[in-house]
Amino acid sequence: MDRNNSQLLLAKLFCHLPQEYWVPLLPKYDPSFNLGTIFGRQAIEINALLINAGVCNNGSKGISVNRGGWELMRNILDDNICVGDYQRKPYVSNKPPSKWREPCNQFADRARCPIHVQLPKDIVVQLEECARAFDESQTLKQQQREKKQQPQAKKEVKKEQPQNNKKRNNDNNEVTPPPDKKSKPDPIIGSNMYDSIIAKLSMPSKDNSNLSELTYITDVIMKQLNQLHQQLGTGLTLTIVSDEDEEVKDPAVTPTPKKKPLTQREKRILAASCLNPKAPHVITSEWDTTKREYKKSTLNTDKNDLKTFVDCISNKNVHRASKAIVSLLSDKSHAQLKDAVLEELVPTKSLESDKDSIMSDLVIKGMKSIMSHHDSRSQRSEAGEAVMKHVVAASVFHIEKENVSVSNRSIQDFLGVNHRQVESARKIVRDMINNNKQGVKPQRKVRSDYIRPKLKPYVYDFLKDDEYTRLDTSQGLVEVIDPRTGTAVTEHIRIWINVNKDEQRRSFLESTHYQNFQIENDGATAVSIGVWNDVVTEVGQFVVDPIPRSCVDEKISGLQHMMSGLVDVLKTEDTKRELEKFEGIGMSYGESLDVLKTGDAFAMVCSVCCEKKEHPEIHIDKTRPCPKFIPFMCTHGNGACSNCGINKKLAILDELSKLSKDDEKFEVKCWKDSIRSGVNSKGEQNKQRELSSEWWTIEQLVIKFKEQLKICLPHCQEIRWVRHILNTDFTRLPANTLLILTDFAASMCLRAAETKNSSVDAHAVNDNFVCIYNRRTVTLKQSRKRSKIEIFEQDQWEDLTIWTCDVHHFFAETFSKGKKNDHQMHNVCLDALIKHYIAVFNEEVGTPLEHIIIWTDNAPNQYRCRQNFAKIATVAERFLGIKITHRLAVVDNFKGNHDAVGKDPARLIRSLELSGIRSENALKVFVNCHRLEKSREDSEWIKYENENDVALKRKGKYGMDTRTVWYVVEEKEEYEQLKVKYPGRVLLIDCDFVMDTVGKKSIENTSKLHEICSEATHIPAALPSVWPLRLSDLPCNCVHCILDPWNNECELRTWRKTRTFNLTPLGVSPDRGREWVGSGVCMKVQGQVVTGSIVDYSVDKSQQFWKVQFGEISALLNYTQVCQAKAAFNTTLQHN
């Protein structure tokens, strides 16, 4: 049975499964509950079907899932078939189980399907046929393996040929090479003879392994000699005479009949004299040592003549010829000739002594042995591969350096390595010699398509992207390995925004991280689900699925639960049958079901709106793609867009409502007020928003879903927009601007290690401030990689943008959760930081501080209140020349590093408690947390920056440079005591006076407000003072708004609604109130206009009073009265 038929049969089998039960794909996962036990079939039949369908592999370790084949199989499954994973094992279900959304839930309940299904006869027949086909294929494979293991007959009957058994044809002077040699062209004549001579002179050896080859070369030489004599017309024909019978006359030489036959010596002399008749017959014992230059043709002629003469003397016996030459050179009278020969043939002079020769032989044998030792392993380790490459590289180094002509085959045979290793070593050595490189670090060559190691850094960055995961500050820290550096780093636990595994992979494939991976790894293949799961499992240990948590976005959560309810409705058979016929406008049944299945509110919003458009006017960071957003007309236009909308895109839901039945309801989770014990301050019953289950009809569900989706359209758009604006604040941070991200951490529970029964914990407040400034570019140097082998090259440089990041913790006392998490403490801490950074900017940055951008959440009692707005408007009263831009994040969407840093003090206090160091109150928390402090001199980033180290890349945006702890008190006596002991680190909250507005007038509709900016840089002259504020529903950093916030070119001006609000505070700052002491006033007293002066300032019940003296008459004036008196005095001075 082929693969296609097997896949169709498997799909049919899944459709016969009992409904709403998770069943493991492989029988071995659960022997008591699997496809075989349900259908009453043997496990071997199920395994055979899975293997034939390509879903599983049959390896040496047994059957296992083929992830790629399983992915292909899932594409042809019916829509009712659900697929899940538990412990990386695939499970299938016929219809989604209503009780167990995932296999792990069913496994936790230890639930098993009690139903056994009787398969139709045709499916049973096909199963048996599939099993037989599988058995036949396995039998055939076994026979093929046994056949390969049998030795070949040719190797068993191979016969050894005698080394001197040569076939000669005397008629045509052809010489047949030895049978164990391949047919090859004639070698360079005399080359092997020279090698034999050098070997005899240097170190005699009894090794005769190359005798056959030398004999063959000798025959070739004899053949060429006979051809030479024929050309010269001498009539001589030379043959080989055996050494054992030297006196046997050569039958090939035909003497003159009337003359005495020539002896063997005479024949040899005659042959030599024919070559050079002019040569002297008597050689003197003196050698001429004068060096001369000879032509190449002369040397070639001498070489041929000497070769012929040696052949004649030795009867063409190579051993006799070599021994004769060795004897000649060994004679003392020919020492000069010997030295000259050695100088020409062995220029390194490495054979000057027998000791060096023996050592050389031992070293060479050792190199061969270690190569053989490692080459015998079936798979070498990385260390073994390094040894092999180093030895081969060392062996060919001199050959490449001196440009000696030696073939790869010769080196391969000599060392016992393969051709690839020799070629790779020669390439590395040539690169080292040509480029004068010093070091080589070989690595094992990995598969070109092995993308897992290359993919890890990009998946790691993807997992840290706030668009796909978010920080979970309710959990702790975890130590992971950074795949870019290989070092251990500490990461905060993050949570998947989308828990669907397939959607997570899809999000990665559509992200810029995957695009960067493809750009930097040309030709990279698509990331399969198996590769994705493996890489995420290895590098994503700090990312987990959502757990019970607080600060949930109620709007997003409510929409996603309704989407889940609609999926259950659309998957019913009746609904599917009716809606598949729908041909109206908008999305089809399949398209709408695919979007709802994602469980992603942002995907749902995008599906009912027009396509995203690029916004080049806010493209600040040029290293990233141009940002794209849904047109604001689609999300904020209340249906004004004619091309999209909920009713147009989801018209199929109207058709779905027609299928509603009063007696058919579905369970859906939604947020509502739940009653809790107790009453509030107004005497009303306590309630809290909580996720609860409701039973709705289809019509009710559709109506509520549309209402919730309408709420989420602007909500999701604003979340994405505000997040982008925060990123651009980093990118464009000017030199005179301080960026602050702040939030109150959860109240610290100071629980003791030893407690009594029903003990109540003390608490402490921790207000975290993360301050970013001094954006700058640093040039880094780093080593690059060439090819697959790391080679140290010249330094390569790249630019990196970094910021200085300081962390501040402000601790305060509280006896219950939530107290002091208010605007008073926030503004006291903010004023202290402004004062601190005015000095820092002047000393370190060299630019005065002029602008502060503050990002906070949308908490109404802390930041979105009239008291805080009054402090923002009057900042110039406390710090001349400074403006504040306060940006409020979208509700329930301001998790980040400012929350994460608050975990460090809490974890430290818990660990100290267990070690016996108590922190019973906020003051002790402040004292014990001093060990967390970090000065600029302690920062490792400063060292990396000074050294231009590539490790500076790990700093990112939030790499901490300094950490400081502060303590905030309410009592003046406590403040006076502690400020001496901890100078500069203790702050006082002035509870006597809280600045408010006249008539407690506040800004209207603050729930839509996201930006509040102070306009005044100096104190207004008029009294009472009026301070202007610039308000915007949406923040913007486009090129137009940066230059002029009141411009008319901004594309978002319709939705930003920038406006002015004149705020009149009821009072002045305490410092300014004290400055008024001594100033003149004028007012009517007993019907007469009199002048006087202010003599004292006081505060009583949050109201400011000034004591005024008119001669002997004194009066106590409030803020409004003293403003009128000062204004009248100024008017009187002008008239006079």
What pLDDT does 184 receive?
Answer: 41
What pLDDT does 1009 receive?
Answer: 93
Going by pLDDT thresholds of 50, 70 and 90, the confidence category of residue 252 is very low
Q: Specify the pairing of strand 796-814 against strand 23-24.
A: unpaired
Confirm if 813 and 775 have CB atoms less than 8 A apart.
no
Spatial neighbors of 26 by CB under 8 A, at least 6 apart, are 34, 47, 50, 56, 63, 65, 89, 90
The burial class, CB within 10 Å (0-12 / 13-18 / 19+), for 821 is: buried
pLDDT tens-digit readout, 775-810: 999 988 764 443 333 433 445 678 889 999 999 999
Rounded mean pLDDT of the chain?
Answer: 80
Going by pLDDT thresholds of 50, 70 and 90, the confidence category of residue 520 is confident
Question: For residues 144 and 1095, which has the higher predicted lDDT (pLDDT)?
Answer: 1095
Question: For residues 798 and 1120, which has the higher predicted lDDT (pLDDT)?
Answer: 1120
* Edge-to-edge strand ranges of the sheet holding 494-496: 469-471, 494-496, 543-544
| β-strand partners of 679 | 685
The burial class, CB within 10 Å (0-12 / 13-18 / 19+), for 1130 is: middle
Q: Specify the pairing of strand 1080-1085 against strand 1088-1100.
A: antiparallel
Confirm if 65 and 92 have CB atoms less than 8 A apart.
no
DSSP helix, strand, coil percent of the chain (3-state; round to 5): 45, 20, 40
What pLDDT does 167 receive?
Answer: 39
pLDDT tens-digit readout, 454-475: 889 899 989 988 778 877 655 6
What pLDDT does 221 receive?
Answer: 59
What is the pTM assigned to this prediction? 0.57
What pLDDT does 311 receive?
Answer: 79
Nearest-10 crossing angle of helices 698-731, 554-570: 140
pLDDT tens-digit readout, 1022-1059: 888 899 999 999 999 999 999 999 999 999 999 999 99
Going by pLDDT thresholds of 50, 70 and 90, the confidence category of residue 548 is low
Percent of the chain with pLDDT over 70: 81
Range name among 324-338, 732-746, 968-982 with the lowest pLDDT average:
324-338
Range name among 586-590, 1012-1016, 1108-1112 with the lowest pLDDT average:
1108-1112
pLDDT tens-digit readout, 304-322: 878 877 877 777 788 888 8
Provide the 3-class DSSP secondary structure of residue 416.
coil
What pLDDT does 1135 receive?
Answer: 76
Spatial neighbors of 473 by CB under 8 A, at least 6 apart, are 492, 745, 746, 895, 899, 900, 902, 903
Going by pLDDT thresholds of 50, 70 and 90, the confidence category of residue 427 is confident
Region label for 683, one of left (φ > 0), alpha (ψ between -120 and 50) or beta (otherwise): left
What pLDDT does 884 receive?
Answer: 96
- The answer to whether residue 688 scores a pLDDT higher than 80 is yes
Going by pLDDT thresholds of 50, 70 and 90, the confidence category of residue 1087 is confident
Q: What is the 3-state secondary structure (H, E, C) of 185-221?
A: CCCCCCHHHHHHHHHHHHCCCCCCCCHHHHHHHHHHH
- Burial annotation 1068-1100 (CB, 10 A radius, 16+ → b, else e): bbbeebeebeeebbbbeeeeeeeebebeebeee
- Residue 15 corresponds to which tokens in the numbers above? 């459709």
What pLDDT does 289 receive?
Answer: 72
Handedness of CA 892, 898, 899, 900 (dihedral sign): positive
- The answer to whether residue 937 scores a pLDDT higher than 80 is yes
Q: What is the 3-state secondary structure (H, E, C) of 694-736?
A: EEECHHHHHHHHHHHHHHHHHHHHHHHHHHHHHHHHHHCCCCC
- The answer to whether residue 1069 scores a pLDDT higher than 70 is yes
What pLDDT does 261 receive?
Answer: 67
What pLDDT does 684 receive?
Answer: 84
Range name among 472-486, 667-681, 847-861, 944-958 with the lowest pLDDT average:
472-486
What pLDDT does 741 receive?
Answer: 95
pLDDT tens-digit readout, 373-402: 666 554 556 677 777 788 888 888 888 888
Question: For residues 1134 and 668, which has the higher predicted lDDT (pLDDT)?
Answer: 668
Strands, E assignment, 877-1004: 883-888, 962-969, 986-988
Percent of the chain with pLDDT over 90: 27
pLDDT tens-digit readout, 199-225: 544 444 344 444 444 555 555 556 656
| β-strand partners of 1115 | 1108
Confirm if 216 and 224 have CB atoms less than 8 A apart.
no
Query: How confident is the model over 917-936, as a mean pLDDT?
Result: 92
- Would you state the torsion angle of the CA atoms of residues 934, 936, 941, 944, taken in this order, to the nearest 10 degrees? -140
Range name among 219-228, 354-363, 1009-1018 with the lowest pLDDT average:
219-228
Q: How far apart are the first and last CA of the chain?
A: 114
Residue where the block lists tokens 């040309």: 522
What pLDDT does 883 receive?
Answer: 95
- DSSP H helices, 376-487, are 382-401, 408-415, 419-435, 452-463
Give dist(CA 807, CA 813) in Å, integer: 20
What pLDDT does 1102 receive?
Answer: 78
Confirm if 910 and 741 have CB atoms less than 8 A apart.
no
Query: How confident is the model over 937-946, as a mean pLDDT?
Result: 89
Which of the listed ranges 138-147, 403-412, 925-934, 1110-1119 does the model predict with the highest average pLDDT? 925-934
Region label for 62, one of left (φ > 0), alpha (ψ between -120 and 50) or beta (otherwise): left
Count how many Cα atoms sit within 13 Å of the Cα of residue 522 in the half-sphere of its side chain.
0
What pLDDT does 819 receive?
Answer: 52
Question: For residues 744 and 262, which has the higher predicted lDDT (pLDDT)?
Answer: 744
What pLDDT does 805 receive?
Answer: 95
- Residue 989 corresponds to which tokens in the numbers above? 């909250």
What pLDDT does 186 receive?
Answer: 43
pLDDT tens-digit readout, 528-539: 888 888 899 889
Range name among 290-294, 823-827, 890-894, 1070-1074 with the lowest pLDDT average:
290-294
What pLDDT does 793 receive?
Answer: 43
Amino acid at 1097: Y
- Residue 360 corresponds to which tokens in the numbers above? 């050389």
- The answer to whether residue 1100 scores a pLDDT higher than 50 is yes
